[in-house]
């Protein structure tokens, strides 16, 4: 699916900037709490008339250049697009700072993007969903019958992406979801802390509603105060060098 959703204006997706957001269809993970069902399962987009080509998006961006301070590439998972570098290059050539939101499953593509000035994003947000050793539970490969991610490839890809981002010199942030404690234990959040550096690490609280796995719609959201305490604990663990 080469076509894109466009959110014309956002005040919250790019720090300190008014930005347009491009949503890429398709994802190589299947987080059960995901609220982007249509982006993750592109067959659901068949027949939609509000999708745009990159040329159409570019026309819009040029017209709105005076009010937009940047462009966010989000998803789904943007790094599934083999031509992502070309898209970043086009947007930067138009004068837009580019932010990339990624799940970190494609470190090879990230390395390629980072290697040239014209394809380097100006800001990156990396999602940390679970400790690396549990990523097999989320990967498409891990979920396919007879194709279990026994080698922990998804977790290794995440660690590699986190390391690349930390050493890239590109402004970045980490993002996590505070999940019900029965699913993600406080000590596991401490294990995730090993992948962050001094950049901001933001926690949002899980909410039921339109989860990819309908069973998750029956789960209660964690108490926001408890989630904030977890985030603090994770950051303290990070400073003490705890984690796997």
In angstroms, give the least distance from the CB of 138 to ligand SF4. Answer: 7
In angstroms, give the least distance from the CB of 218 to ligand SF4. Answer: 19
Asked if 157 touches ligand SF4 (CB under 6 A), the answer is no
Pick the closest to residue 68 from 113, 143, 8 (CA basis).
8
Dihedral-angle region of residue 76 (phi above 0 means left; psi in -120 to 50 means alpha; beta otherwise): left
Asked if 103 touches ligand SF4 (CB under 6 A), the answer is yes
In angstroms, give the least distance from the CB of 45 to ligand SF4. Answer: 14
Of 34 and 68, CB closest to ligand SF4: 34
Among positions 21, 27, 100, 196, the unique one binding ligand SF4 when judged by CB under 6 A: 27
In angstroms, give the least distance from the CB of 128 to ligand SF4. Answer: 11
Asked if 184 touches ligand SF4 (CB under 6 A), the answer is no
Stretch that binds ligand SF4, among 3-11, 22-30, 90-98, 200-208 (CB under 6 A): 22-30
Binding residue count for ligand SF4, defined by CB under 6 A = 12
Among positions 4, 21, 25, 31, the unique one binding ligand SF4 when judged by CB under 6 A: 31
Among positions 4, 25, 61, 76, the unique one binding ligand SF4 when judged by CB under 6 A: 76
Between the alpha carbon of residue 20 and those of residues 34, 40, 65, 98, 120, the distances in Å are 22, 20, 10, 10, 18
Place of tokens 């959703």: 5
Pick the closest to residue 128 from 220, 213, 230 (CA basis).
230
- Are 114 and 84 in contact, with CB atoms under 8 Å apart? no
Of 77 and 188, CB closest to ligand SF4: 77
Asked if 77 touches ligand SF4 (CB under 6 A), the answer is yes
Pick the closest to residue 142 from 37, 33, 31, 39 (CA basis).
31
d(CA 52, CA 95): 21
Asked if 243 touches ligand SF4 (CB under 6 A), the answer is no
Asked if 70 touches ligand SF4 (CB under 6 A), the answer is no
In angstroms, give the least distance from the CB of 31 to ligand SF4. Answer: 3
Query: What b-and-e string marks burial along 71-93, b requiring 16 or more CB atoms within 10 Å of the CB?
Result: bbbbbbbbbbbeebbebbbbbbe
Interacting residues with ligand SF4 (CB under 6 A): 27, 29-31, 34, 36, 39-40, 75-77, 103
């Amino acid at each position: 699916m080469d076509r894109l959703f466009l959110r014309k204006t956002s005040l919250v997706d790019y720090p300190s900037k008014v930005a347009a957001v491009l949503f890429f269809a398709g994802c190589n993970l299947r987080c059960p709490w995901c609220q982007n069902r249509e982006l993750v399962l592109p067959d659901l987009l068949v027949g939609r008339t509000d999708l745009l080509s990159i040329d159409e998006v570019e026309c819009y961006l040029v017209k709105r250049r005076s009010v937009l301070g940047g462009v966010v590439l989000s998803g789904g998972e943007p790094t599934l697009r083999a031509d992502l570098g070309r898209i970043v290059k086009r947007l930067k050539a138009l004068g837009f700072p580019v932010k990339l939101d990624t799940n970190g499953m494609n470190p090879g593509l990230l390395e390629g993007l980072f290697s040239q000035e014209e394809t380097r994003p100006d800001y990156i947000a990396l999602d940390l969903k679970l400790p690396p050793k549990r990523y097999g539970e989320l990967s498409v490969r891990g979920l396919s019958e007879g194709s279990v991610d026994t080698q922990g490839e998804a977790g290794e890809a995440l660690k590699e992406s986190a390391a690349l981002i930390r050493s890239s010199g590109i402004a970045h942030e980490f993002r996590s979801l505070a999940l019900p404690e029965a699913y993600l234990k406080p000590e596991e959040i401490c294990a995730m802390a090993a992948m962050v550096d001094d950049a901001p690490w933001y926690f949002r609280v899980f909410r039921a509603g339109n989860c990819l796995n309908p069973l998750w719609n029956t789960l209660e959201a964690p108490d926001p105060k408890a989630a904030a305490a977890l985030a603090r604990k994770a950051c303290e663990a990070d400073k003490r060098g705890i984690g796997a």
